[in-house]
Amino acid sequence: MLHLLKKLLSGISPLLLLIRQRFLILQLLRRDIVGRTRGTLLGWLWLIAQPALQVIAFWFLLDIVFQMRSPGQVRYLNYFLIGMLPWLYLSEVLNRSINVLNEFAALYQRSRFPVAVLPLLPMVMGLLIYLPVYAGVAVYFQDGLAGLKAIAIMLLLFVWVIPFAYLLSVFGLFVREVRQVFPFFLTMIMYVTPILYAPDALPESVRWALAFNPIADLMALIQGWINGLPVEPGNWVRPLALWLLLATPAWVLFRRSEPHMREVL
Amino acid sequence: MSVITLVNVSKSYRTYAHPWDRLKEVITHRSYHQDHQVLKPLSISIGEGHVVGLVGRNGAGKSTLLKLIAGTLLPTTGTVTTQGQVAALLELGAGFHPEMSGRENVYLGAAVAGLSREFIESRYEDIVQFTGLAEAMDRPVKTYSSGMTARLAFAVAMAVEPEILILDETLSVGDGAFARRSFERIIDFKSTGKTLLFCSHSMYQVESICDRVLWINDGMVMMDGDPSEVVSAYTEFLTGQSEPPNPTHSSDSVPSASTSSGGTRIMDVKVFVDGYESKPLTIESGSSKLSIATRFKAPDNLPLPSIGIVLVGGNGWPIASASSLDDALRFTRNPEGIYQATVTFPRAPLLKGNYWINLFLMCEQGIHFYERAERVAEFTVVQNTREVGLVSLNRSWKTG
């Protein structure tokens, strides 16, 4: 019984690891930032500037060129940014998780190193980039309370994405095809999720399929909380159930895979 | 007290028909692999303060054993237990980023080595002082030479203050005077009662510093014990193999490998037969006088070095050697810092064949190599007797 309880609680191990290894994670984040931005004119500002430019490109296309309309009284740009920024965060985390064990292989290939911190890096890095931008956008379009909600949303997404990041890091290392096909898969998810458009823009006949897309549930929750759009109980239940279902197995699978990781490389 | 204990430890590398078979095995716990055993079950106990050398051919399993003890590999069976902090100089500077400054990389390297911020902050000045890179610490590491990077990495690795130090093939790191300092730091382990483990192909170094040697062959411990006994058995084993040990290929008559001289260097080497320096060199077995003369430079700030000379047979096997340290030759310090020594083998008792000469400039203890001059000269021995073998032994006959 105690063993089973321990196993179940191991789902929160990544969070404990984050606290325990904060100095190491901080140093690795610094390494990552320096690697990406040193030598550029704007330096670390590029970390924020890059997603900002991406957002501007989407906005120009959808709001100015196509003049997309949004649901209810919410201005389209507001609707779009409130959904798009969390999606960019999630997609960046998932996309980097696939490759993170290869990317940092030099750290653990011939050295003693806590490999389990590696999938946390894209998550924390993404948070550093998107949290301030997201909070700023929420405050700009609404008020301080929306800014606080935006911070809470990003932190909750951080926790929610943990099992997926750990699973993908293992799959990305062991099954290389996953690395090739995953960017396409992410793009498809974005198109079938009401991020660029409102859920009611979908034909009635296919709207039921959103129940099988956990990202669509997350988007409904986010839009509901910040923009006051309708939320259904299923939007809470499904992502939560999925997280509870995956948290412990993802961690257990990662730990079981650790002895194989150096050999794969 | 035992600080390293291995009980029934074995290591197999697994091969899979398809990459996803590995994942299937992890998930289902069903076996999809084929084992390639590199280390057969072994049990070893190493006590505190021991200096243990691992010898064996390439691929024998030495490095795997070191990695298992260092914790970078997990054993397939059995348990590895270590007492105290372990530092393995197997991969120096893991995680260093060339765009980051020396200072940033010290913190990064320390974090990767498992040190806390408080610890590394308290040691930072010592690390910088040891590297001698104070003025370069705020420059990106990409502007460092490879020797400077090695210095920094070594200093960070040693900041751990380990109880157990693991080395692979090297007893010094970096270049110039730093190599000598890193060597001293490593050798200090011996005097401070900490445990040192290293694998090497240099039987000379193994015998010089180890008090126990393990000979590993095909993943098994063939012999474990006194260095001279194990090294003798291993060398004898190698002589039965087709490949000569560490053959050298340089054909230069000048120093062929300058390894971390630190200002101590060979200036020239001359070989005389019966007082004449001629080419090609031909020696008459049992009658010619072979002399090897060298000049070297040594700075004031280091103890005066020692010289080693090895006569190597045409198949790459060492035939005979001489060391200024063993022969109690003492140099007298002079203001120019240039010294010379000549060793003479009167009536060289070598038998017919081709030979060459390797010359080594070593530290005063005869362990650390400042410079190696391999194959500085080649000579041919001719004879007018029917003796066979490598040397002609002094002998007497009696009839009865």
Is pLDDT larger for residue B23 or for residue A118? A118
pLDDT of residue A167: 95
Is pLDDT larger for residue B356 or for residue A42? B356
- Count, residues in chain A: 265
- Residue B246 pLDDT > 50: no
Residue A30 at interface with chain B, using a CB cutoff of 8 Å: yes
pLDDT of residue B247: 36
Please say whether the beta carbons of A86 and A192 come within 8 A: no
Is pLDDT larger for residue B53 or for residue A3? B53
Could you give the dihedral angle defined by the CA atoms of residues B372, B377, B382 and B388, in that order, rounded to the nearest 10 degrees?
20
B236 phi-psi bin (left φ>0, alpha ψ -120 to 50, beta other): alpha
Tokens found for residue B296: 């070297």
Work out the number of other CB atoms within 10 angstroms of the CB of residue B282: 12
- In this prediction, residues B223-230 reach a mean pLDDT of 91
> At B176, is the pLDDT very low, low, confident or very high (cuts 50, 70, 90)?
low
For B265-382, CATH gives: 2.70.50.60
Residue pointed to by tokens 């990305």: A172
CATH class of B2-84+196-239: alpha beta
> Among partner residues B20, B104, B107, which is closest to A175 by beta-carbon distance?
B20
Residue pointed to by tokens 């990202």: A215
By C-alpha distance, the chain A residue nearest B103 is: A27
- Residue B245 pLDDT > 50: no
**pLDDT tens column, B24-51:** 888 888 888 888 889 999 999 999 889 9
- The residues spanned by each domain of chain B are 2-84+196-239, 265-382
Distance between A118 CA and the closest CA of chain B, angstroms = 12
Q: What are phi and psi of B272, to 5 degrees?
A: -120, 140
Buried b (16+ CB within 10 A) or exposed e, B17-33: eeebbbbbbbeeeeebb
Across chain A, mean pLDDT equals 89
The three-point CA angle B8-B14-B18 to 5° equals 160
> At B343, is the pLDDT very low, low, confident or very high (cuts 50, 70, 90)?
very high
CA torsion through residues B352, B353, B354, B357, sign = negative
pTM of the shown model = 0.77
> At B302, is the pLDDT very low, low, confident or very high (cuts 50, 70, 90)?
confident
Tokens found for residue A155: 């932190």
Q: Which of B325, B267, B269, B323 is nearest to B296 (CA)?
A: B267
- Residue A153 pLDDT > 90: yes
pLDDT of residue B254: 41
- The residues spanned by each domain of chain A are 2-264
Contact A260 B22 (CB under 8 A): yes
How many whole angstroms separate alpha carbon A2 and alpha carbon A244? 19
- Chain B hits for A253, CB-CB cut-off 8 Å, are 26-27
- Residue A99 pLDDT > 90: yes
Chain A with chain B: Cβ pairs closer than 8 A: 88
Contact A174 B14 (CB under 8 A): no
Distance between A183 CA and the closest CA of chain B, angstroms = 20
User: DSSP string covering B104-133, please?
Assistant: HHHHHHHHHTT--HHHHHHHHHHHHHHHT-
Centroid of chain to Cα B255? 18
Contact A176 B91 (CB under 8 A): no
How many whole angstroms separate alpha carbon B187 and alpha carbon B207? 14
- In this prediction, residues B69-87 reach a mean pLDDT of 90
Across chain B, mean pLDDT equals 85
Residue B230: its H or E element = helix B227-239
ipTM value greater than 0.90: no
How many whole angstroms separate alpha carbon A116 and alpha carbon A261? 11
> At B257, is the pLDDT very low, low, confident or very high (cuts 50, 70, 90)?
very low
Q: What percent of chain B has pLDDT over 90?
A: 30
> At B249, is the pLDDT very low, low, confident or very high (cuts 50, 70, 90)?
very low
Is pLDDT larger for residue B336 or for residue B190? B336
How many whole angstroms separate alpha carbon A24 and alpha carbon B112? 6
The residue type found at B215 is W
pLDDT of residue B18: 82
DSSP state of A60: I
How many whole angstroms separate alpha carbon B14 and alpha carbon B35? 5
- Residue A20 pLDDT > 80: yes
> Among partner residues A39, A107, A175, which is closest to B95 by beta-carbon distance?
A107
How many whole angstroms separate alpha carbon B87 and alpha carbon B127? 16
Is pLDDT larger for residue B189 or for residue B127? B127
- Residue A118 pLDDT > 70: yes
- Residue B80 pLDDT > 50: yes
Could you give the dihedral angle defined by the CA atoms of residues B232, B234, B235 and B241, in that order, rounded to the nearest 10 degrees?
150
Using DSSP, state whether B320 is helix, strand or coil: strand
